[in-house]
Amino acid sequence: MPAACGVHPEMTAERGHGLAVSRYAVKAFTEEHVDRPNNRSTLARRHFVAGLAGASLAPLAPLSHAQGGNRPSPTQTLGPFYPRNAAERPRSIDADLITVDGDRVVTKGTPLFLIGRVTDRGGEVIAGAAVEIWQCDANAVYHHPAGGAEGERDTSFQGYGVDRTDSNGEFRFRTIVPVAYPGRTPHIHVRVQPSSGRAFATQLYLPGDAGNARDFLFSRLTAEEQRALLLVIEPTRNPAHPLARATRFTGRTELVLA
């Protein structure tokens, strides 16, 4: 069994905003086992290339379970594995966190297309905001100096990425379905820094995961706040965006800034 990152106290919260609700049968996640080689080469640039900058998608329709009254999304901590300087970040920090070689996904885990939208309380989209995500790899190791056994890292997984919201307030990443590590339920960290105003941080969770009820952060939330931080998960269909290609699932969220 691979060495996992240890249990660390969660750290400094930033002013927060949140997400949207979902119901999803996690059976597809929990029953799936992906057995791919754990390449030990250094983090390299993704094979993902052309068409990303020019790709266009129809704007996201509001999530059917979006928070009523545009309540600000719940804030949660950055956690101890947020890369606070360049030395703690991977060499590549783009929005494509996985490695794909032709049609073969090299990165261990279940590929996920993560898409979201950032708005203010009035429902106005927030364009030009920097959005960061980070999470542990399929071996439960963060790509951070304190994130676990370096020898167990999946070096084909970037672990951290940055995107900027477009004119519709939308951001997109290609990553993996989050996995648990000792003391935490599966989650993806998100931090948003608007072009003006304060940053916020929160965490996104898998609906129906058995670890949610035992998680010391998730269990502190009210039922409404918990629903706000659950990803809306569905199979990826007709991937029009380059980052959706080679993914099994699409996870959607909405972040409402105070």
Q: 165 with 212: CB under 8 angstroms?
A: no
Q: Within a domain: residue 16?
A: no
- Residues 6 or more apart in contact with residue 210 via CB below 8 angstroms: none
Local structure of 226: helix, strand or coil: helix
Token pair, residue 173, equals 């990443």
Helix (H) / strand (E) element for 29: namely: helix 27-31
- The structural domain count of the chain equals 1
DSSP class of 74: P
Q: Within a domain: residue 36?
A: yes
Number of alpha carbons in the 13 Å side-chain half-sphere of residue 183: 8
Q: Within a domain: residue 131?
A: yes
Q: Within a domain: residue 193?
A: yes
Higher pLDDT, 46 or 136: 136
**What's the pLDDT score for residue 62?**
54
How far is Cα 254 from Cα 99, in angstroms, rounded to an integer?
Answer: 26
**What's the pLDDT score for residue 53?**
37
Q: How many residues are given for the chain?
A: 258
Q: 107 with 158: CB under 8 angstroms?
A: no
Local structure of 172: helix, strand or coil: strand
DSSP class of 230: B
Q: Within a domain: residue 70?
A: yes
Token pair, residue 19, equals 């997400």
Q: Within a domain: residue 1?
A: no
Residue 218: give the domain boundaries.
27-50+59-257
> What CATH number does residue 135 fall under?
2.60.130.10
Distances (CA, A) of 139 to 10, 118, 202, 226: 20, 30, 23, 26
pTM of the model: 0.76
How far is Cα 127 from Cα 129, in angstroms, rounded to an integer?
Answer: 6
The per-residue pLDDT for range 167-218, each reduced to its tens digit, is 999 999 999 999 999 899 999 999 999 999 899 999 999 999 999 999 999 9
**What's the pLDDT score for residue 150?**
77
pLDDT > 60? residue 40: no
Core vs surface per residue 87-102: b (16+ CB within 10 A) or e: ebbbeebbbbbbbbee
How far is Cα 152 from Cα 182, in angstroms, rounded to an integer?
Answer: 15
Give the residue carrying structure tokens 């996992």.
Answer: 4
The per-residue pLDDT for range 210-245, each reduced to its tens digit, is 999 999 999 999 999 999 999 999 999 988 899 999
Phi and psi at residue 219, in whole multiples of 5°?
-70, -15
Token pair, residue 21, equals 């609700």
Q: Within a domain: residue 194?
A: yes
